[in-house]
């Protein structure tokens, strides 16, 4: 008998205007010891299934059809009290953000003991012993000591281990893990996933692993269910679904995953649901000023640039304490190339981008553009330099002013620099919006009327309005779904090729970097540890940290390579 | 898409009204009886203040129309000497209470709106500068705000009023009294605007659209006005509504204490001050009706402000 069975589950959110069906006729079964992956893009209804099983649907959501069975007994119709008894005891949950799922005012042991006693009714001494055992089991060193610490004394990965220990308190049969590693760096992600795998094997726990990451699915799960807009489109053993996908949506999703092993010319875009809109960059190239400068010459030279932030403020400069975010980075970006910067969060990649863009003043060293020092002036970088550079930001939801109309947003840089005005500016804005695939009439709308991917296209149109020579992309796709990411990355490749743009491309995602960049710099704790040609770096990493990073990259060996064109 | 931009634009302008009517805020307004009633009361009082010269049966400021014989006429009853009746009675000088309330409401509302506008402009400007520029400028502005918060607002207003009275020549005092009142109340009220705007500015400042504007080299002034200001205005709207009720009460308090509106231009507070002298001699209506109107106005505006705060904060829904 299956541990957990979901049959024909339909979840609705009735609102004032219409009823939104978040999950439609979903089927899913979990066997003991099995890790069942639930994959899909944002809004696919994956988390809603998890919440429905836990009885934690947010109002006004309700189960309007179907049955959820736990060990053969129906639990979808249980009242709040009966569900409360089941929740946490037989079925428990691991949330995405380990910081917010722990109470900062209690020690880890207190939180574990409270949960253990609530479920198992053990004495204080027994519960404490069990708490320490659990902390040991999730792989936290010095369990007896660390149990008496508060959540803020743990790192992100250790905190997620504590959350897993909490989920294990009551010896549950099913664990629902909702994006358990999304908030963590790759090196920690691998450890947490290993821990989940180990638990499932050893204790015969059934796990539903909800994620948007194909790498996580490929590495961790036994069975996978693919969801699209609330419906299950494909389900089966992981190797089979990823290797020989049947449904066109699954195919399109797998094709869009950046491969760590080969460099593609372009991402194949298999249309599904009419979501791909054309991007006519060749037309843009005709009106673009021809750049006669020689390819391969240094465009940007960063010479020992350093950035320090005040970590302890004081009136007397001698009493202040500093944190060095970037320490004497030295590299060059050549005319016409895409230069990548990779590293984990907090390694200083974005700080470098901001220093080059003139958003942060440098605390040491210089940035030269075509041989001229642009960081020496007292008033920040000179205006002629600002005209040559543009930037695409990470978060499409905060990079556009919500109170400005799209045409005003796109027009602002060109207008500010006095490059165009009046009808000529209007024509340029219309043309750009058309070329990025939104159509000129998009200019009359406000940003909130667009999706994340469309907003990122608006950002690109804004960046192109001044016809820059140098484009800084700071994690331009990390907030986007994988199929949208593929479209945006293709656009950036087109831009670079047809307009001879030079780019600084920042990402924490190694497969993306491999697809995009000609040369790559690796950052660790503010230090640039290695700079190499992309293919050389992936084939033969020199620095120990680079080797470590590459070893953590998901292999994705079993993925179907239908439609891929290797560069 | 074959639509020309012009027809699209016209269509969007038309649908904007429909969109506003259909928006969540409008919906919550239609569904909330408290909001509907408060809005109706506020609107009624504002309209009757604006059209006071048309509505009022008497002009209380024209001595030619006054008859001392009409003094102390109870509401709705005929005067024993002249036989005239007054809806809400008359005061000691024979002035129609209903008319004086209408004219008093004008002064009260004018002072309230003007004081809030003054506080809003001052507070929003200082809050924007403190939040965006930061550093020692931020420290100075916010410490001044903190110091001011240690005194009750009414005390600050009285202090400012006293100083202003001291430095104006006696012959102009009555003329400038209203303006001094506005500045005094406004200066005592800017702090909460500055605090909220500073906080919101700190949030907006770190967003990437501000970085994008800085990247192309826009001036701090342009970034504050064009980019940050429109995005911090919705909490300001809520505070302004609640402040309006407080400013009206502050004005009434000052006038009641005799330091506000001069007797030549009586506000609701002045009327209450005049009326309280007669409360225990049986002429209750001289106090009761102005006080009732003040209560209704302050309560309605306050409830409207409360509703607006809830409606604009999606986390409470």
In this structure, are A429 and A523 located in the same domain? yes
CA atoms within 13 A on the CB side of A171: 7
CATH number assigned to the domain comprising residue A464: 3.40.50.300
Domain assignment present for A265: no
State which residue of chain B sits closest to A414, comparing Cα positions: B216
Q: Is B28 exposed, middle or buried (0-12, 13-18, 19+ CB in 10 A)?
A: middle
Provide, as residue numbers in chain B, all residues whose Cβ is less than 8 Å from the Cβ of A386. 215-217
Is the pLDDT reported for residue B199 higher than 60?
yes
What crossing angle do the helices spanning B33-50 and B24-31 adopt, rounded to 10°? 90
Chain A 363-392, residues with CB within 8 Å of chain B CB atoms: 380, 383, 386, 389-391
Task: Count up the domains in chain A and report the number.
Answer: 2
pLDDT digits (tens, 9 = 90+) for B264-300: 778 888 888 888 888 788 778 888 898 999 999 999 9
| Higher-scoring residue by pLDDT: B254, A556 | B254
Does B316 score more than 60 pLDDT? no
Strand (E) or helix (H) holding A277: none
- For residue A243, give both structure tokens: 């290797």
Alpha carbons A68 and A78: distance in angstroms, whole number? 10
pLDDT at A274: 52
DSSP structure class, residue B249: H
A363 neighbors A307 (Cβ within 8 angstroms): yes
Q: How far is CA A386 from CA A362, A382, B166, B217, in A?
A: 16, 7, 55, 7
The answer to whether the beta carbons of residues A70 and A12 sit under 8 Å apart is no
Q: In this structure, is residue A206 part of a structural domain?
A: yes
| Helices B173-187, B153-167: crossing angle, 10 deg rounding | 150
Q: How far apart are the C-alpha atoms of B158 and A381, rounded to whole Å?
A: 50
Query: Is residue A268 one of the residues assigned to a domain?
Result: no
Would you say A534 and A514 are in contact if contact means Cβ atoms under 8 Å apart? yes
Helices B229-256 and B190-205, axial angle in degrees (round to 10): 170
Interface contacts (A, B; CB < 8 Å): 65
Has residue A406 been placed in a domain? yes
**Domain-located, residue A260:** no
Which numeric CATH code is attached to B45-63+85-316? 1.10.3720.10
Greatest mean pLDDT among A384-393, A433-442, A489-498, B274-283: A384-393
Q: Report DSSP letters for A116-146, one per residue.
A: HHHHH---HHHHHHHHHHHHHHTT-SSHHHH
A327 and A416: one domain? yes
What is the value of pTM for the model shown? Answer: 0.82
Q: Nearest CB to B231: which of A390, A402, A413?
A: A402
Quote the CA–CA distance of B232 and A363 in Å, as a whole number.
Answer: 32
- What confidence tier does B10 reach under pLDDT thresholds 50, 70, 90? low
Q: Are residues A240 and A365 in the same domain?
A: no
Q: How far apart are CA B4 and CA B13, in angstroms?
A: 15
pLDDT tens readout for residues A109-159: 999 999 888 888 889 999 999 999 889 888 888 888 899 999 888 888 888
Query: Is 70 exceeded by the pLDDT of residue B19?
Result: no
- A169-196 burial string, b = 16+ CB within 10 Å, else e? bbebbbbbbbbbbebbbbebbbbbbebb
Whether residues A10 and A148 share a domain: the answer is yes
Pair A387, A525 in one domain: yes
Task: Give the C-alpha separation, A449 to A404, whole Å.
Answer: 12
Is B60 exposed, middle or buried (CB count within 10 Å of its CB: 0-12, 13-18, 19+)?
buried
Whether residue A207 sits in one domain with residue A296: no
DSSP symbol at A289: P
Q: Is the peptide bond before A60 cis (omega within 30 degrees of 0)?
A: yes
Confidence of residue B6 (pLDDT cuts 50, 70, 90): low
| Residue A39: closest CA among A261, A260, A242 | A242
Claim to verify: residue A204 and residue A295 sit in the same structural domain:
no
A181 near B CB under 8 A: no
Do residues A250 and A288 share a domain?
no
pLDDT at A482: 85
Residue-averaged pLDDT of chain B: 84
Query: Considering the domain boundaries, does residue A271 fall inside one?
Result: no
Q: Where are the domains positioned within chain B?
A: 45-63+85-316
Residues β-bridged to residue A389:
A470
- What sign has the CA pseudo-torsion A118, A123, A128, A134? negative
- Structure tokens, A182: 């999304």
- State both tokens at B159: 């202090």
The domain of A370 spans 283-552
- Most A CBs within 10 A among B25, B30, B217, B232, hence the mutation to make, goes to B217
Q: Which structure tokens are listed for A343?
A: 């590293």
Rg of chain B on CA atoms, in Å: 24
Question: How far is the alpha carbon of B205 from chain A, nearest alpha carbon, in Å?
Answer: 11
User: What's the pLDDT tens digit per position in A72-90?
Assistant: 888 887 888 888 888 878 8
The answer to whether A299 touches A369, Cβ cutoff 8 Å, is yes
d(CA A66, CA A24): 9
CB distance B216–A466 less than 8 Å? yes
Q: Of A199-208, A216-225, B229-238, B307-316, where does mean pLDDT reach its minimum?
A: B307-316
Write out chain A residues lying below 8 Å of B315, CB-based.
Answer: none
Closest CA to B207 of A403, A336, A463: A403
Most confident of A13-17, A513-517, B174-178: A513-517
Report chain B residues whose CB lies below 8 A from the CB of A399: 207-209, 211-212
Phi, psi of A531 (to 5 degrees): -130, 130
Structure tokens, B222: 């342009």
Asked if the Cβ–Cβ distance from A398 to B207 is below 8 Å, we say: yes
- The DSSP element (H or E) to which B308 belongs, if any, is helix B285-312
């Amino acid at each position: 008998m299956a541990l957990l069975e979901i049959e024909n589950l339909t979840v609705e959110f009735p609102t004032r205007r219409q009823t939104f069906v978040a999950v439609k006729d979903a089927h899913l079964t979990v066997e003991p010891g099995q890790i069942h992956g639930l994959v899909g893009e944002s809004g696919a209804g994956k988390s809603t299934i998890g919440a429905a099983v836990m009885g934690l649907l947010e109002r006004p959501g309700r189960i309007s059809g179907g049955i959820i069975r736990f060990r053969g007994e129906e639990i979808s119709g249980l009242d709040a009290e009966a569900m409360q008894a089941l929740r946490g005891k037989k079925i428990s949950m691991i949330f995405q953000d380990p910081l917010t799922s722990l109470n900062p005012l209690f020690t880890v042991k207190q939180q574990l003991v409270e949960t253990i006693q609530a479920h198992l009714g053990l004495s204080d001494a027994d519960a404490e012993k069990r708490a320490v055992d659990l902390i040991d089991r999730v792989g936290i060193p010095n369990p007896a000591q660390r149990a008496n610490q508060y959540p803020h004394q743990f790192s992100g990965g250790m905190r997620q281990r504590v959350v897993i220990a909490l989920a294990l308190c009551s010896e549950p049969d099913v664990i629902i893990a909702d994006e358990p590693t999304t908030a963590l760096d790759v090196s920690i992600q691998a450890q947490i996933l290993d821990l989940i795998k180990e638990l499932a094997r050893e204790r015969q726990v059934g796990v539903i692993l909800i994620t948007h990451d194909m790498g996580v699915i490929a590495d961790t799960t036994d069975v996978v269910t693919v969801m699209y807009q609330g419906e299950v489109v494909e389900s089966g053993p992981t190797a089979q679904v990823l290797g020989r996908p049947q449904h066109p949506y699954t195919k399109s999703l797998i094709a869009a995953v950046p491969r760590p092993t080969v460099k593609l010319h372009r991402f194949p875009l298999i249309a599904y649901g009419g979501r791909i809109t054309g991007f006519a960059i060749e037309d843009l190239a005709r009106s673009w000023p021809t750049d006669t400068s020689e390819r391969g010459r240094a465009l940007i030279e960063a010479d020992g640039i350093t950035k320090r932030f005040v970590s302890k403020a004081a009136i007397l400069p001698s009493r202040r304490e500093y944190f060095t975010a970037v320490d004497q980075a030295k590299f060059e970006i050549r005319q016409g190339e895409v230069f990548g910067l990779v590293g984990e969060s907090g390694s200083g990649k974005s700080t470098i981008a901001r220093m080059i863009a003139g958003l942060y003043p440098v605390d040491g060293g210089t940035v030269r553009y075509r041989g001229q020092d642009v960081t020496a002036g007292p008033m920040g970088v000179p205006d002629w330099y600002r005209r040559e550079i543009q930037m695409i930001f990470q978060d499409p939801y905060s990079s556009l002013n919500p109170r400005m109309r799209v045409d005003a947003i796109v027009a602002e840089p060109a207008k500010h620099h006095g490059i165009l005005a009046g009808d000529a500016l209007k024509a340029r804005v219309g043309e750009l919006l058309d070329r990025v695939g939104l159509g000129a009439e998009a200019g009359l709308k406000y940003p909130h009327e667009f999706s994340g991917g469309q907003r990122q296209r608006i950002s690109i149109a804004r960046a192109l309005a001044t016809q820059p020579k140098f484009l800084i992309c700071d994690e331009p796709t990390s907030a986007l779904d994988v199929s949208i990411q593929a479209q945006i990355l293709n656009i950036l490749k087109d831009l670079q090729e047809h307009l001879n743009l030079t780019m600084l491309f920042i990402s924490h995602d190694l497969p993306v970097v491999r697809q995009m960049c000609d040369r790559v710099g690796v950052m660790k704790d503010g230090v640039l540890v290695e700079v190499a040609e992309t293919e050389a770096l992936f084939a033969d990493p020199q620095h120990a940290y680079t080797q470590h990073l590459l070893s953590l990259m998901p292999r994705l060996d079993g993925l179907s390579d239908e439609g891929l064109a290797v560069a | 898409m074959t639509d020309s931009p012009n027809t699209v634009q016209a269509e969007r302008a038309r649908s904007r009204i429909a969109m506003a009517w259909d928006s969540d805020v409008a919906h919550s307004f239609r569904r909330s009886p408290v909001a509907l009633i408060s809005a109706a009361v506020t609107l009624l009082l504002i309209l009757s203040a604006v059209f006071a010269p048309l509505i009022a049966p008497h002009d209380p400021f024209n001595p030619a129309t006054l008859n001392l014989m009409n003094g102390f006429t109870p509401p709705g009853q005929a005067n024993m000497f002249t036989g005239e009746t007054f809806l809400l009675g008359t005061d000691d000088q024979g002035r129609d209470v209903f008319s004086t309330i209408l004219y008093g409401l004008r002064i009260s509302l004018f002072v309230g709106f003007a004081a809030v506008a003054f506080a809003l402009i001052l507070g929003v400007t200082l809050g924007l500068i403190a939040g965006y520029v930061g550093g020692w400028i931020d420290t100075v502005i916010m410490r001044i705000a903190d110091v001011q918060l240690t005194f009750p607002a009414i005390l600050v207003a009285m202090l400012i009023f006293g100083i202003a009275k001291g430095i104006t020549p006696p012959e102009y005092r009555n003329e400038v009294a209203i303006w001094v009142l506005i500045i005094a109340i406004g200066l005592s009220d800017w702090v909460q605007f500055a605090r909220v705007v500073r906080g919101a500015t700190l949030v907006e400042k770190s967003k990437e659209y501000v970085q994008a504007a800085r990247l192309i080299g826009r001036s701090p002034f342009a970034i504050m006005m064009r980019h940050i200001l429109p995005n911090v205005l919705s909490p300001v709207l809520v505070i302004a509504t609640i402040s309006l009720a407080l400013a009206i009460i502050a004005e009434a308090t000052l006038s009641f204490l005799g330091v506000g509106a001069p007797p030549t231009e009586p506000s609701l507070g002045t009327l209450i001050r005049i009326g309280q002298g007669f409360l225990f001699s049986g002429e209750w209506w001289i106090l009761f009706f102005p006080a009732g109107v003040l209560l209704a106005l302050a309560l309605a505006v306050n409830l409207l402000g409360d509703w607006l705060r809830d409606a604009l904060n999606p986390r409470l829904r």
